[in-house]
């Protein structure tokens, strides 16, 4: 079979797609810079620049030339060939871009920016009413967008699909039902046991510079390539790829607690390793990027939870920790390890433990479904939120700032995004269990700081495929079974058993 | 007269121009980031992104729609109105963009990038032959570009005009002839006097953090707005505007000498104050940017030399300097001041004193003219360079690294750029003399750290006009006479007289 790359349409197709990737790279840098570096006075100018770049990219994506090239390739490339998949992926993006009318796109951009400002103010004053009108407007526009994207299907599913190709509300519901039941049982059992973990050993003074040095050392040991990446400071940690050879992580630091930065870095390094492992040959093509947010989150959660919270990893980490913070000289792995697996219902998602975290996500999923089905009005949001927290987690927010206003996602119009956190958590457990099966020496490797075998397994089974398979296909190929909550629940039950002595 | 902004063509004209400005802003950020922040591995990816953005901007600039709008405005706007000048400026840019064929543009970009790499290598090994083939290729392409841009005129003048609107070789020659004669006399007289200044007082250990703190304090005192700007570190100091509200300065630091960073910051702050003083109303229009490199350099040189090297400024600075570096506690203004006005021929342009600096520029101007007239071949460059240094400055480079390979400009294809340094130096002296005439309390103001009156004068006479007038018009309006070397030579003769006791 002749290589499709010899097809006369292919070079131009790849050239245009490369330009789209380059424009996106510039947008990524504008965003990174705004979050880490830009002086406050640049906000308005930056919004204009970002808006223009997004518009230019959208114009190119919807150009008749690109659609014609993709069509030609789709018709003539052998089914299943890389070129056919690239053409299909291109069509998916083109269709998504075309279904949303220009006027709606502009209204969304403007409303998002207003809603974001209103949300910041509302959260500061803990007053939902300051956010409500903008949010209601944004939800209405998002419903319009979702309906356009769904093309006759479920509007909310079209939003899910933006972040997690192929995800549907109907597919997620059973997963969340199972998690609610099983995790609920665990949370209740721990609460009923009355057990309290002694966390005094975690107290101390942890200078930011020392935390940063330790973080860099860990990131490098895990395999993050700093010749092609950075670690900076921002208000909210994130990982962003500017372009090939430039992947950036950020972190925030607390002087009185080193755990948030430590696990924040493990988390972002997980994202960063995925980005650095994407195949160079497909970069700047429709298959070159990470396949979905859920798969991305599976990489961050895997390193954060299944590696970072393991006894084996702690064994490797402790000498480094002691060298950085002498307060840990007398501390042993068995004293620290249980504290990384506390089960403690709390109000703030980003501070939640690995067990209750998914219940926070579940609450947001329920609310989003109700908002988009019309069962819930924006005005009813705070009440619904507080009731769900009381019902699911047994605690009720004292105010809107620690309740419905805590997350930025809705203010940015990112509905359908939250579920990817849980999909990623489940996938992380399933991938790690599969890696354990094929790497018998894994625990020993982790204890000795040999992270390359695990990274190699992830490169082979996840990273190198970029967007070639759907998330569901990717997980099934890598683990031998469809995504389920089984491995995650096994893991959680095991650690809860060991930490709290509960048989669940 | 009805405002032309009501003209039906105007809003769309300004919209397109705004998009061009936004694309340029993204290019600026890509460049700033590459020079200060980007990991080494990003070089290739970054080149592609920058190339794509430049191409997209070029396409928009050459779009028939923009040309038609500019033509309509140019025809219908009253002569001398802002809209007419905007249309004329737009035409100038469109014409420049159109005259260079796409293939030549691509060849230039590619050759520039190769020549830059070859130059880095050649400079490291001090071997011109490693650079020569790429430079010869680049000069040939630049001659082609210059011929295309000149449209029948002098090719080298077309290059000058890219950086300094209206500058010509014939106009510059008499200025340089006068400078060569007069500065040559001074250099010889100082050398003949055998005077040696005792610089031991400048020796010490100057921690980078302390230098940075002092630099920030000075920049803020001069009027640089850090809510809309930054100061970072880079290998070569520069000032760059990303967009409205985001102007960035960079500096480099030497632990054993604080003067380079001090005067580097004064210089870059001068550029930054100009950028921050451009009128908001014209931003993202064809008149919104600084008018030329020469005028830009007049602002940096004015603050660096006429303010920064003045006794009055030293009087204000010394208490801050003493607080930062206690080694200066016993040092007085009269001990420091002469050391800022040394006359000492040297080989490296960027380290030259304020008197000999212009002779370095003159040498480059002579060489560029000869290269583009065909009187000099690239292979003859090193010999011509060394001979001119011996002839003009009385010293001969010992190797190519401290000779013909010292500057990056030619490796980037920036021929015609050097003369703007001298034009800026002359304009700085002329502007400062004019400011002194209209601000009788200026010296006293500077000695007390009141920089606002001088900044106000520059805002009024230079900054607020952005690109409305040509550089020549701007100088004549601000100072009452055409640009000449007179005020600069008066200034240099005065300080040389005071420092060396020479009457010239």
Put simply, whether B209 touches A (Cβ < 8 Å) is no
pTM for the complete prediction?
A: 0.93
Q: Residue B326 is encoded by which pair of tokens?
A: 């206690």
pLDDT at A6: 75
Min CA distance, B46 vs chain A (Å)?
7
**Tens digits of per-residue pLDDT, B58-88?**
999 999 999 999 999 999 999 889 999 999 9
Q: Which two tokens stand for residue B416?
A: 């015609």
Contacts of B62 (CB under 8 A, 6+ apart): B94, B97, B98
A126 pLDDT more than 90? yes
Tell me which chain A residue has its CA closest to the CA of residue B283: A45
- Facing residue for B52 by CB, picked from A23, A45, A229: A23
B245/A30 CB distance under 8 A: no
- For the cut 70, the answer to whether the pLDDT of residue A3 exceeds it is no
Say how far apart CA A316 and CA A319 lie, in whole Å. 7
Q: Provide, as residue numbers in chain A, all residues whose Cβ is less than 8 Å from the Cβ of B18.
A: 48, 52
pLDDT exceeds cutoff 50 at B1: no
Taking contacts as CB-CB distances below 8 angstroms, the residues of chain A near B230 are 37, 39
Asked if the C-beta of B39 comes within 8 angstroms of chain A's C-beta atoms, the answer is yes
pLDDT at residue number B328? 96
CB contact under 8 A, A246 and B45: yes
With beta carbons under 8 A apart, name residues in chain B contacting A19: 52, 55-56
Burial of B82 (0-12, 13-18, 19+ CB in 10 A): middle
For chain B, what is the radius of gyration of the CA atoms?
23
Q: Spell out the alpha helix ranges (H) of B374-502.
A: 381-388, 419-438, 442-447, 452-461, 471-479, 486-500
| Cα–Cα distance measured from residue B401 to residue B406, given in angstroms and rounded to the nearest whole number | 6
Which among A23, A45, A229 is the nearest to B245, CB-wise? A45
Q: DSSP class of residue A482?
A: -
Tell me the torsion sign for CA atoms A350, A352, A357, A359. Answer: negative
Question: Lowest mean pLDDT: which of A272-276, B5-9, B207-211, B359-363?
Answer: B5-9
- Do residues A369 and A127 make contact, with C-beta atoms less than 8 angstroms apart? no
Q: Are B248 and A45 in contact (CB under 8 A)?
A: no
CB distance from B19 to chain A under 8 Å? Answer: yes
Backbone φ/ψ region at A151: left (φ over 0), alpha (ψ -120 to 50), beta? left
Residue of A83, A145, A268, A275 with catalytic role: A268
Quote the CA–CA distance of B327 and A201 in Å, as a whole number.
46
Crossing angle of helices B293-301 and B419-438, in 10° steps, is 50
pLDDT band at B7 (very low <50, low <70, confident <90, very high): confident
Query: Is A290's pLDDT higher than 70?
Result: yes
Confidence of residue B3 (pLDDT cuts 50, 70, 90): low
* Residue A2 pLDDT: 43
Kindly calculate the radius of gyration of chain A based on its CA atoms and give it in whole angstroms. Answer: 23
**B47 and A CB contact within 8 Å:** no
Q: Tell me the average pLDDT across A52-77.
A: 94
Residues of A within 8 A of B41 (CB-CB) are 225, 227-229, 245-246
A482 to chain B, minimum CA–CA distance in Å? Answer: 36
Q: With 90 as the cut, is the pLDDT of residue A263 above it?
A: yes
**pLDDT digits over A377-398, tens only?**
999 999 999 999 999 999 999 9
* Cβ atoms of residues A345 and A356 within 8 Å: yes
How does pLDDT run across A231-244, given as a tens digit for each residue? 999 989 999 999 99
Residue A7 confidence class, pLDDT cut points 50, 70, 90:
confident
Count CA atoms within 13 Å of residue A266 on its CB side: 20
Residue with tokens 């100091």: B237
Percent of chain B whose predicted confidence (pLDDT) is above 90? 94
3-class secondary-structure state, position B226: helix
Which residue on chain A is closest to B230 by alpha carbon?
Answer: A39
Q: Which of B396, B472, B411 is nearest to B165 (CA)?
A: B472
B106 part of contact set with chain A, CB < 8 Å: no
Contact A45/B at CB under 8 A: yes
Give the H or E element holding residue A358. Answer: helix A357-373
Q: In whole angstroms, give the CA distance from residue A498 to residue A493.
A: 9
CA–CA min distance A448, chain B (Å): 29
3-state secondary structure of A260: helix
Taking one residue from A and the other from B, the number of pairs with CB-CB distance under 8 angstroms is 127
Q: How far is B27 from chain A (nearest CA, A)?
A: 8
By CA distance, what is B52's nearest residue in A?
A: A19
CA–CA min distance A247, chain B (Å): 9
User: Could you tell me if B502 and B189 are in contact, meaning their C-beta atoms sit under 8 angstroms apart?
Assistant: yes
8 Å CB contact between A146 and A155: yes
Tell which A residues from 252 to 291 touch B, by Cβ distance under 8 Å.
Answer: 284
In this complex, the residue of B26, B40, B227 whose CB is nearest that of residue A26 is B26
Let me know: does B269 contact B142? Beta carbons within 8 Å: no
- Residue in A26, A46, A226 closest to B30 by CB: A26
Distance CA A460, CA A465 (A): 8
Q: What does each C-alpha distance from A334 to A309, A330, A337, A355, A442 come to in angstroms?
A: 12, 12, 5, 20, 20
Of the candidates B139, B104, B109, B123, which has an alpha carbon nearest to the alpha carbon of residue B379?
B139
- Answer whether B22 sits within 8 Å of A53, measured CB to CB: yes
pLDDT digits (tens, 9 = 90+) for A145-159: 999 999 999 999 999
ipTM score for this prediction: 0.92
Q: Are A42 and B244 an interchain contact pair (Cβ–Cβ within 8 Å)?
A: yes
When the pLDDT of each residue in chain A is averaged and rounded to a whole number, the result is 95
Instruction: Give the closest residue to B225 by CA, choosing from A44, A39, A45, A35.
Output: A39
B23 contact residues in A (CB cutoff 8 A)? 52-53, 56
The minimum CA-CA distance between B203 and chain A, rounded to whole Å, is: 31
Segment B265-315, tens digit of pLDDT: 999 999 999 999 999 999 999 999 999 999 999 999 999 999 999 999 999
Percent of chain A with pLDDT over 90: 94
pLDDT of residue B161: 96
Determine, for residues A41 and B227 on separate chains, whether the beta-carbon distance falls below 8 Å: yes
How close A377 gets to chain B, by Cα (Å)? 38
| C-beta of residue B454 within 8 angstroms of C-beta of residue B445 | yes
CB B29 within 8 A of CB B232: no
Q: How many residues does chain A have?
A: 504
The pair of structure tokens assigned to B194 is: 């055998």
Instruction: Output the six-digit token pair for B420.
Output: 């703007």
d(CA B497, CA A176): 86
- Nearest to residue A386, comparing CAs of A410, A413, A406? A406
Per DSSP, helices labelled H in A389-418 are none
pLDDT confidence bin for A55, thresholds 50/70/90: very high
Query: Which of B38, B229, B245 is opposite residue A44, by nearest beta carbon?
Result: B245
- Write the DSSP assignment of B124-156 as a string of letters: HHT-GGGTHHHHHHHHHHHHHHHHHHHTTS-HH
β-partners of residue B230 are B248
User: Does the distance separating the beta carbons of B45 and A26 come in below 8 Å?
Assistant: no
- Give the Cβ contact number of residue A8 at 10 Å: 10
pLDDT-based confidence at residue B5 (cuts at 50, 70, 90): low
Pairing relationship of beta strands B246-251 and B229-233 according to DSSP bridges? parallel
Pair A400, A126: CB distance under 8 Å = yes
A14 and chain B in contact, CB less than 8 A: no
Closest CA to B61 of B5, B107, B21: B21
Instruction: Please answer yes or no on whether A29 and B33 come within 8 Å at the CB atom.
Output: yes
Distance CA B31, CA B23 (A): 13
Burial of B60 (0-12, 13-18, 19+ CB in 10 A): middle
Q: Report the C-alpha gap between A471 and B108 in whole angstroms.
A: 44
A253 to chain B, closest Cα gap in Å: 21
Token readout for A429 is: 């457990």
In the numeric block, the tokens 């005009």 are attached to B161
pLDDT bucket at A504, cuts 50 / 70 / 90: confident
Judge whether B196 counts as a catalytic residue. Answer: no
CA distance A270 to A299: 5
Q: Which of B26, B38, B48 is nearest residue A30 as measured by Cβ atoms? A: B26
For B37, name the nearest residue in chain A, comparing CA atoms only: A230
CA nearest B232 in A: which residue?
A37
List B268, B297, B354, B368, catalytic entry: B268
Closest to A400 (Cα-Cα) out of A12, A136, A131: A131
**Cβ–Cβ of A244/B45 closer than 8 Å?**
yes
* Whole-number Å distance between alpha carbons of A108 and A95: 18
Beta-bridge partners for B248 = B230, B240
- Burial readout B179-218 (b: 16 or more C-beta within 10 A, e: otherwise): bbebbbebbebbeeeeeeeeeeebeeebeeeebbebbeeb
Looking at residue A314, its pLDDT comes to 98
Average pLDDT over residues B334-354: 96
Tell me which residue has tokens 């020469």: B294
pLDDT reported for residue A5: 66
What local confidence, expressed as pLDDT, does residue B8 receive? 85
- Contact, B237 vs B263, CB < 8 A? no
Q: How many CA atoms lie within 13 A of B123 on its CB side?
A: 15
CB contact under 8 A, A48 and B22: yes
Per-residue pLDDT of A330-364, as tens digits, reads: 999 999 999 999 999 999 999 999 999 999 999 99
Find the closest chain A residue to B47 by CA distance: A22
- Interface test with chain B among A18, A26, A231, by most B beta carbons within 10 Å: A26
- Listed in sequence order, the residues at least 6 apart from B446 whose beta carbon sits closer than 8 Å to its beta carbon are B307, B310, B312, B313, B315, B316, B454
Segment A464-503, tens digit of pLDDT: 999 999 999 999 999 999 999 999 999 999 999 999 998 8
In this prediction, residues B128-143 reach a mean pLDDT of 97
Decide if A23 and B230 are in contact by the 8 Å CB cutoff: no
Going from the C-alpha of A92 to that of each of A58, A72, A74, B201, the distances in angstroms are 14, 15, 12, 70
pLDDT in tens, A192-251: 999 999 999 999 999 999 999 999 999 999 999 999 999 999 989 999 999 999 999 999
Contact criterion met (CB < 8 Å) for B245 and A42: yes
pLDDT-based confidence at residue B2 (cuts at 50, 70, 90):
very low
Token pair belonging to A227: 């010749």
Beta bridge partners of A390: none
Closest CB to A246 among B25, B29, B41: B41
């Amino acid at each position: 079979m002749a290589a499709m790359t010899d097809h006369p349409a292919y070079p131009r197709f790849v050239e245009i797609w490369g330009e789209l990737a380059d424009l996106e790279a510039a947008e990524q840098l504008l965003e990174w810079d705004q979050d880490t570096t830009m002086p406050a006075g640049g906000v308005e100018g930056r919004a204009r620049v970002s808006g223009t770049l997004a518009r230019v990219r959208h114009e190119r994506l919807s150009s008749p030339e690109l659609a014609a090239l993709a069509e030609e390739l789709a018709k003539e490339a052998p089914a299943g060939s890389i070129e056919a998949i690239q053409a299909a992926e291109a069509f998916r993006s083109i269709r998504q871009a075309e279904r949303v009318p220009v006027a709606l796109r502009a209204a969304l951009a403007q409303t998002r920016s207003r809603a974001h400002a209103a949300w910041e103010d509302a959260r500061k004053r803990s007053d939902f009413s300051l956010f409500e009108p903008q949010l209601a407007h944004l939800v209405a526009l998002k419903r319009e967008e979702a309906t356009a994207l769904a093309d006759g299907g479920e509007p909310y599913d079209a939003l899910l699909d933006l972040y997690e190709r192929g995800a549907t509300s109907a597919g997620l519901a059973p997963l969340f039902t199972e998690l609610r039941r099983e995790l609920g049982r665990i949370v209740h059992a721990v609460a009923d046991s009355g057990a309290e973990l002694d966390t005094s050993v975690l107290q101390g003074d942890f200078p930011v510079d020392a935390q940063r040095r330790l973080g860099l050392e860990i990131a490098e040991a895990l395999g993050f390539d700093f010749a092609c990446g950075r670690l900076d400071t921002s208000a909210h940690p994130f990982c962003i790829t500017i372009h090939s050879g430039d992947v950036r992580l950020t972190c925030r630091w607390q002087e009185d607690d080193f755990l948030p930065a430590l696990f924040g870095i493990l988390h972002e390094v997980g994202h960063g390793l995925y980005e650095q492992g994407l195949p160079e040959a497909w970069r700047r093509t429709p298959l070159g990027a990470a396949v979905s947010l859920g798969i991305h989150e599976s990489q961050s959660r895997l390193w954060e939870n299944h590696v970072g919270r393991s006894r084996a990893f702690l064994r490797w980490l402790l000498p480094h920790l002691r060298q950085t913070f002498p307060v840990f000289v007398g501390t042993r792995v068995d004293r620290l390890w249980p504290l990384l697996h506390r089960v403690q219902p709390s109000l703030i998602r980003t501070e939640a433990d690995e067990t209750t975290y998914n219940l926070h996500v579940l609450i947001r999923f329920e609310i989003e479904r109700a908002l988009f089905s019309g069962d819930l009005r924006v005005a009813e949001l705070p009440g619904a939120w507080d009731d769900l927290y009381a019902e699911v987690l047994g605690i009720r927010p004292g105010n809107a700032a620690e309740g419905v206003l805590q997350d930025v996602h809705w203010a940015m119009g990112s509905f359908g995004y939250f579920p990817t956190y849980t999909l990623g958590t489940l996938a992380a457990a399933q991938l790690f269990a599969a890696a354990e099966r094929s790497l018998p020496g894994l625990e020993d490797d982790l204890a000795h700081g040999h992270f390359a075998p695990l990274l190699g397994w992830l490169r082979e089974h996840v990273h190198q495929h970029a967007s070639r398979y759907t998330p569901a296909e990717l997980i099934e190929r890598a683990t031998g079974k469809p995504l389920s909550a089984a491995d995650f629940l096994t893991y959680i039950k095991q650690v809860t058993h060991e930490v709290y002595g509960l048989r669940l």
